[in-house]
Amino acid sequence: MNMNPHEDVAEVLVTAEEIARRTEELARTLERDYAGRPLKMVCILKGAVPFAADLMRAMNHPVALDFMAVSSYGASTKSSGVVRLLNDLDESIEGQDVLIVEDIVDTGLTLKYLRENLSARGPRSLRVAVLLDKRERRLVDVEVEYVGFRIPDRFVVGYGLDYAGFYRNLPYVGVLKPSVYEEAP
Ligand code: PRP
């Protein structure tokens, strides 16, 4: 691992400027769609932190924030759809307009679980916003109302997405150099 994370990046797929522009567009759409209704954003830890932070600040709208952490049991069991709730929301969402904010939808298993789990708590409405959609990897049908960018099936890091816990702080979405994986223990 390089001490300058930018030097580990082989290619930038979505630039910081593209993310900022799309986030503004999504913010305007959300303001219109939730006109007259305060919004409860549920940020899914950890990857969605940068997107949720920028999206909420782009909105001229009453936005409340809560967090949830979930984890799949790892690659081998992912297809089983088993998702574990690691940290629950602090507050009830009953009767509220809730927007789940995620960094990426891949197989769709995490969002399917989240939609089912949260809709059982009686929100007034429940929708999903994701920055990145890797549609060709989808295993289950799950509705995603707001999508930032569709991306190809490549392992991406940055703007919340990690490799071995790092690279989340890159301001863009990119692909790592093969040498980074070769160094892995
Ligand atoms: C990532 C991402 C989604 C999930 C998407 O989380 O943030 O929650 O995977 O994959 P799926 O559509 O195949 O379910 P990850 O488990 O990497 O956790 P993190 O956000 O803490 O990095």
Residue among 90, 106, 153, 162 flagged as catalytic = 106
Mean pLDDT for all residues in the chain: 95
pLDDT single digits (tens) 19-28 = 999 999 999 9
d(CA 75, CA 73): 7
Question: What are the CA-CA distances from residue 4 to residues 134, 173, 182 (Å)?
Answer: 27, 16, 18
| Share of residues in the chain with pLDDT > 70 (%) | 95
CA of 110 to the centre of ligand 1 (A): 7
Task: Name the closest-CA residue to atom 2, ligand 1.
Answer: 104
Answer yes or no: pTM beyond 0.85.
yes
In the chain the domains, ranked by start, together with CATH numbers, are 16-151 (3.40.50.2020)
The minimum-distance atom of ligand 1 relative to the CA of 103 is: 7
Query: Binning pLDDT at 50, 70 and 90, where does residue 78 land?
Result: low
In 52-170, where do the E strands start and end? 63-72, 83-87, 97-105, 125-133, 146-150, 156-157
d(CA 47, CA 45): 6
pLDDT single digits (tens) 116-126 = 999 999 999 99
